[in-house]
Structure 1
Amino acid sequence: MNVMNVLNQIMQQASGSPSGGGSQSGMELNKVVQNVGTQFRGGQGGSRGVDVKSLLGGGALGLMLGSKRGRKMGGTALKYGALAGVGVLAWKAYQNYQDNARGGPQPMATHNQGQPIEQLQGQAQERRGLEILQAMIMAARADGHIDANERTILTQEIEKLGPDDELHAWIQQQFDAPLDAAELARNADSPQASREIYLVSAIMIDNQNPMERAWLDQLANALKLEPELARQLDHQVQSAA
């Protein structure tokens, strides 16, 4: 399945980059994230900003977010640019969590933590991409507002990004499947994957919506995230705005 092609282009929409729909269009995910990662490692948010009108006005991501009735523009919308650096931000949250637990910066235990999605290759990256895309779709459904018509339009928008028949069938399964945080958590291939699943879900949801916030809390519990680590992940999302 060409899941990374689809995910790359959705992330480009989030970062305000143009998306043409072909496998070679736009910027490569690794290039996008390299820029974002440099900004955050340097402690600065950068100057690119996010084209909010482009972000919420169309495309697969815009439709997923557009299903949230009453979502506000402005600072809340700006956080979606964090999608372009989900692996970098999830890893940074883990670093901060470890530093706080130890009382300051120290060598961090990384054994069996897994790698950020941007560092993976081949089948490992495709598998992580499926986990991330599944988390995005479930978060978009968490408020119960994707109706049959919206689902059809969203499917058409994703089709424009070039999914194959296998990926198309998988996407349809995600729309039909029950919202199951435990199942989503079981698909995580590493602790880093768990952090990325939570972080991308936190980006997608509206904290002011009780149903969506309840989904995120349920997911944190299913992923077995420590409360402080979940707070660090939430902080990375908010600081990206």
Structure 2
Amino acid sequence: MNTKGLLDQLLKSGSGLLGNSTAGGNRTSGSTAMGGLSGMLSGKGGAAMAGGALGLLLGSKKGRKLGGKVLTYGGMAALGLVAYKAYSNWQQNQQQQNQQSQNYSPATIDRVPEADVEMHTKAILIAVIAAAKSDGHIDDREREIIDAEVAKFTRDASLLRWIDAELQKPLDPVTIASAASSQEIAAEMYLVSVLVIDEESFMERSYLNELAKQLKLPVELQQEIKKQAVAAEQMAAS
């Protein structure tokens, strides 16, 4: 099952809407991460990737959230940049408090070895599908849109079965959180959930809080992720 391949196809499908995509933006340094994100979201310099890796699900939610633009315009690269910025800031704050020096760079999806990308993309897709269901259901029309979009980009029977199974599963934060095999992946799953979920909805907010608990994310890291998500949403809206 090649979840990365599906995400790649979805990214390519939208690359012409706002400009030509560039592969070189995936491995920016921490100091330039938000600048790179701004370029992707604004479309300046031909760096934007519209359509996005997660548009198949975000589109089904009627585009209610600005966060959807972060993902559909910036795709996986934008998600990685925001996650890296949030995780790096939290890590640096922890190190300053404990008077420790920084010893490694966060292994977010935009900077992991190729062998680890599939693990990240699968976990992120699990989180997105769950977030899309957190308002209580995916109705028949939304399901038609999702099935049609997925069918455009893959004929991989095992992948289609996997997506169908994820859509039909009961919403269980414990099971969803078990897909996070590292704290960086947990942060990415939480970030994508923050971007998709409407916290004004009691059901969705409750789900998000329980997911954070099951992902075992420190409160300070949750706060930093939300802070960077807001910053990314503001960039997408400008």
Tell me which interval the TM-score lies in, with the shorter structure as reference length: 0.7 to 0.9
Matched, 1:8 2:2: no
Aligned counterpart, 2:26: 33
Query: Is 1:150 aligned to residue 118 of structure 2?
Result: no
Counterpart check, 1:175 vs 2:173? no
Poorly superposed stretches of 4+, deviation over 6 Å: 35-38
- TM-score, normalised with respect to structure 2: 0.77
Measured at CA, do residues 31 and 204 of structure 1 come closer, stay the same or move farther in structure 2, by a change above 3 Å? farther
Find the aligned partners of 1:44 and 1:186 in 2 and give their Cα distance: 29
Q: Which residue of the partner structure matches residue 88 of structure 1?
A: 81
SS in 1 for 2:42: coil
Alignment of structure 1 residues 12-27 onto 2, 5 Å: 17-18=15-16, 27=21
Give the letter aligned to residue 102 of structure 2: M
CA–CA separation in structure 1 for the residues paired with 2:36 and 2:54 = 27
What is the alpha-carbon root mean square deviation over aligned residues?
Answer: 3.5
Using the size of structure 1 for normalisation, the TM-score is 0.76
Instruction: Give the direction of change, closer, same or farther, for the CA distance of 1:237–1:70 in structure 2 (3 Å limit).
Output: closer
Q: Deviations for 1:32-68, whole angstroms, at most 9, x for unmatched residues?
A: 5347977425588337526xxx96xx88844523443
* Larger displacement relative to structure 2 (152-161 or 166-175): 152-161
2:191 corresponds to = 199
Unpaired segments ≥5 residues, structure 1 = 20-25
Q: Percent identity?
A: 36
What is the one-letter code of the residue matched to 1:221?
Answer: K
Shift of 1:192: 0.8
Is residue 2:157 matched to residue 1:165?
A: yes
Structure with greater helix percent = 2
| Matched residue count | 224
Select 1:98's aligned residue among 91, 94, 112: 91
Q: Structure 1 residue 107 and structure 2 residue 101: aligned?
A: yes
Amino acid at match of 1:18: G
User: 2:73 aligned with 1:79, yes or no?
Assistant: no
Between the aligned partners of 2:202 and 2:147, the Cα distance in structure 1 is 26
CA distance in 1, matches of 2:202, 2:10: 26
Change beyond 3 A, Cα 1:36–1:139: farther
